[in-house]
Amino acid sequence: MNVSPEGPLRVVIADDQGLVRTGFRMILTAAGIEVVAEASDGEEAVAAVRRTRPDIVLMDIRMPGLDGLEATRRILGGAPDDPQVLILTTFDLDRYVYAALAAGASGFLLKDVTPEYLVAAVRLVRSGDALLAPAITRRLVERFAANPGGASTVHRDLAALTPRESEVLRHLAGGLSNGELAAALGVSEATVKTHVTRILSKLGLRDRAQAVVAAYESGLVTPGSARTR
């Protein structure tokens, strides 16, 4: 993630509707967040990211030409300075949620969020948290409830985790932020971040969003056993 120690958080907004981009820009600018570029389609988004090297990309899914999912795949090449991608859409559909996470997105929000929640989401993703709206976390739970198989293969990977790390991963599956995890476990946020970093490293995961999916795919967490916000 391309986070500068100084200066404002830097964002690229990609959406095919000019009015939406203008609204997002006004909300973020008012909160002291710098919008360094706008894009009306996926090709423009990829070019803008390569040109400006932002911290966060707000990415719409449905855009003409190259859509937001393919643009996300092209932007996230696995480099240390890759931005975080926060998906924004009006379409609360499983195939978009799962495809966005598989493409490497760190968050998924519906466009009906409040301005305050949008600003908080951008800052949360920059800090290293994944962000899944509560309704989306529940949809993921329901998906894995209907397809619970495949646990034994992934359980071999989870054997590398300590008991405490497994506990943290179970809480992650509920969509908890670092602050909420710290409160639930009775530890500091710094300790939570250390646990999360180790979990991602041991399991070969890019970020917390993938950890949430891995927890259900592995069978470590079953629907109803993790708290969703």
**pLDDT score of 150:** 43
The band of 155, judged by pLDDT with boundaries at 50, 70 and 90, is: very low
For 74-107, the pLDDT digits (tens) are 998 767 788 999 988 776 666 677 777 777 888 8
Average pLDDT taken over every residue of the chain: 80
pLDDT in tens, 202-221: 988 877 777 877 787 777 87
Residue reference for tokens 């975080």: 84
pLDDT bin (cut points 50, 70, 90) of residue 152 is very low
Mean pLDDT on 11-31: 94
Residue 1: closest CA among 147, 130, 160: 130
One-letter amino acid at 219 equals G
Residues forming CATH 3.40.50.2300 domain(s) in the chain: 10-127, 140-218
| Residue 55 pLDDT exceeds 90 | yes
Which among 127, 160, 136 has a CA at the least distance from the CA of 212?
136
Query: Tell me, what's the pLDDT at 134?
Result: 57
Q: Which fold has domain 140-218?
A: Rossmann fold (3.40.50)
pLDDT at 73 over 70: yes
pLDDT at 111 over 90: no
Separation of alpha carbons 161 and 204, rounded Å: 12
Range 33-61 average pLDDT: 95
- The amino acid that residue 146 corresponds to is A
Stretch 177-192: mean pLDDT, rounded?
A: 88
Residues composing the chain: 229
Q: Which residues contact 34 (CB under 8 A, 6 or more apart)?
A: 7, 8, 9, 10, 11, 28
- In CATH terms, the fold of domain 10-127 is Rossmann fold (3.40.50)
d(CA 209, CA 129): 8
Provide the pLDDT confidence category of residue 177 given band limits of 50, 70 and 90.
Answer: confident
Report the pLDDT averaged over residues 143-166. 64
Beta bridge partners of 84: 56
Three-state DSSP at 38 gives strand
> In which band, very low, low, confident or very high, does the pLDDT at 71 lie, cut at 50, 70 and 90?
very high
